[in-house]
């Protein structure tokens, strides 16, 4: 999260901090045993941790929106 904060301007930093804190407190901690965490393959500082939660046979992935970069292909 520190890497994401470095790239945000002041207004976005507050939004990100508050949103991330609420998400972790209200969702991740309450569902911790049900969530899978996926790390970048190299496990370096490059990339973000992706969260996945299964409900029955359907999975929902959670990404940090502010940590994504658009790339034109």
Q: Quick: pLDDT tens for 15-52.
A: 888 888 999 999 999 999 999 998 877 766 667 788 99
> Residue 12 in contact with residue 1, Cβ under 8 Å?
no
pTM of the model: 0.70
> Residue 38 in contact with residue 48, Cβ under 8 Å?
no
Give me the pLDDT at residue 29, please.
Answer: 95
Give me the pLDDT at residue 30, please.
Answer: 95
What sign does the dihedral 41-35-68-57 (CA atoms) show?
Answer: positive
Query: What average pLDDT does the segment 52-59 reach?
Result: 94
């Amino acid at each position: 999260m520190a890497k994401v904060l470095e790239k945000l301007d002041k207004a976005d930093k507050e939004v990100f901090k508050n949103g991330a804190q609420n998400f972790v407190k209200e969702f991740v901690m309450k569902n911790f045993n049900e969530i899978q965490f996926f790390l970048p393959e190299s496990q370096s500082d490059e990339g973000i941790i992706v969260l996945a939660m299964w409900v029955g046979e359907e999975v929902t992935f959670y990404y940090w929106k502010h940590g994504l970069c658009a790339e034109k292909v």
